[in-house]
Amino acid sequence: MADALYTGIKTDVYTYFTVPGGTSLLLSLPHWSLVTLRLESAGPVTVGTREDLRPVGSGKGRLLPSNEDVKIVMVPLTRLYISADSLQRVSVQVEPYPWLFEILTAIRSVPPALTSMLARLLGRK
């Protein structure tokens, strides 16, 4: 089932180098995605959904800690921006986020007695 939902969607892994003294669009994705960021240099680097992240560390975004993974669930068409004062290296991994598969699995795990009771409460036979 998950294969049918995510046909053509792949995992991307790459290294991003920041633009010194500016804010750049890092990602804007058409599907639900799980983004993992890892600052591989000293920093500081800020990421967030606001275009005005400057100055870095102002609280307008999230500071990336050095050498630690930061996971972000991206809703379709949300934009993720990145800002740094100097050239920094950030590892980026983008993978499909199986939210629909998780919901369907959770629904299937509901006991039949509970689903029939809910149906009676909702007025369905």
pLDDT tens digits, one per residue of 70-81: 999 988 889 999
Residues forming beta bridges with residue 35, ordered by sequence position:
72, 94
Residue 22's pLDDT band (cuts 50, 70, 90): confident
Q: Supply the mean pLDDT for the chain.
A: 82
Give the H or E element holding residue 39: strand 33-39
Tokens of residue 102, six digits: 């998780």
Gyration radius of the chain over CA positions: 20
Residue 121's pLDDT band (cuts 50, 70, 90): confident
pTM for this prediction: 0.72
Query: How far does CA 20 lie from the centroid of its chain?
Result: 24
Residue 11's pLDDT band (cuts 50, 70, 90): confident
**CATH code given to domain 7-97:** 2.60.120.770
Instruction: Enumerate the domain spans of the chain.
Output: 7-97
